[in-house]
Amino acid sequence: MLLEATQSFELRHPGTSQDALHFVRTPAVALSQLRFIRGLDTKQEQVRGELIVPVAMLGDVDLPFSSRLQSTPDGAVLLAAELPDERAWVEVNGQATVDSQNKMSFAFQLRAHLQLPEAEGWGSAAFEKMVRAAANRTLERIAAALPGGIQAALEQSRASA
């Protein structure tokens, strides 16, 4: 089962352009206040962790992700890596750019890969349909929480500077 959600938004950095570039290129800071990420690990150009997705009838589902961070002249991109050995995982792709007015533009794409048992009969098919609907709503809520979480990280980084 594949589920997708996207989120694009803009935030203004109160510091310099260099401060804004540093923020978007440092996922340990920019993603630090996202409550649905556990075990965020940013070593070199790798960004790894788990999205915690509460799914009705299944409880919390931990979806591991791994992305490669690549700096660009005006920001950074996250490029998802596949995790073929996992039963459930998520691709996290994203792009962040900074303009001359310190406006940071973010665009994230989330694609969850979930393996459910093969649906046999009407009951199993109905269960799969319910799980799909609940998981899709949850993934969309996670995407919708990205702007507030990154804004909170921006405010925390400014307070500690």
Q: For residue 80, which of 69, 98, 99, 67 has the smallest C-alpha distance?
A: 67
State the pLDDT at residue 122.
66
What would the CATH number be for the domain defined by 2-114+134-155? 3.30.530.70
Interval 68-119: pLDDT, tens: 999 999 999 999 999 989 888 999 999 999 999 999 999 999 998 887 666 6
Judged against a pLDDT cut of 90, whether residue 160 lies above it is answered with no
State the pLDDT at residue 161.
63
One-letter amino acid identity for 19? D
Distance CA 49, CA 30 (A): 14
State the pLDDT at residue 135.
77
Name the residue ranges covered by the structural domains of the chain: 2-114+134-155
Judged against a pLDDT cut of 90, whether residue 130 lies above it is answered with no
| DSSP single-letter state for residue 15 | S
For the chain, the average pLDDT equals: 89
User: At 124, phi and psi to the nearest 5?
Assistant: -65, -40
State the pLDDT at residue 125.
72
Q: For residue 103, which of 20, 46, 34 has the smallest C-alpha distance?
A: 20
Distance CA 55, CA 96 (A): 29
State the pLDDT at residue 42.
93
Beta-carbon count within 10 A of 97 CB: 19
Distance CA 29, CA 22 (A): 9
State the pLDDT at residue 31.
95
State the pLDDT at residue 56.
64
Distance CA 42, CA 120 (A): 41
- Bridge partners (DSSP) of residue 75 are 72, 97
Question: What is the Cα gyration radius of the chain?
Answer: 17
